[in-house]
Amino acid sequence: GLEVLAKSIQDYHDNYTRFIVLSLNEHPPTGFDKTSLIFSVPNKPGALYNALEPFALKNVNLTKIESRPTRGKPWDYVFYMDMEGHKLDGNVKEAISELEARASFLKVLGSYPIARRGS
């Protein structure tokens, strides 16, 4: 784990801040994992729906989807997405593979054990 340098620095009691730790090593599946990725789709009707459909069909729970403008490309967005499951789990792997075929860009950031609150 990481060393906590300062506690209770939040403005609001129930505030949670997400920290990302990068590693060159892959984490094996634990059975309690999340996967994060970024992707973009063409700016046309139904493109985002089409990109997300495989996750619903494969029963993959999406826990976060956040859009950010693509620098230098007005009206184009990149989507940051988290989901339950490891990228090597069958249903997650299949859904990501289908997303790859539908997206104009895809980068799997990695899979990692789900953090426990307060840890």
Edge-to-edge strand ranges of the sheet holding 62-69: 62-69, 77-84, 33-40, 105-113
Instruction: Fill in the DSSP letter of residue 32.
Output: S
Q: Return the SS3 of 117.
A: coil
Contact assessment for residue 78 and residue 40, using Cβ atoms and an 8 Å cutoff: yes
Q: Return the SS3 of 84.
A: strand
Catalytic residue among 17, 32, 55, 79: 17
Report d(CA 103, CA 21) in Å as an integer. Answer: 26
Catalytic site includes residue 63? no
Which of 106, 44, 110 has the alpha carbon at shortest distance from 79?
Answer: 106
Catalytic site includes residue 17? yes
Residues with active-site annotation: 17, 19
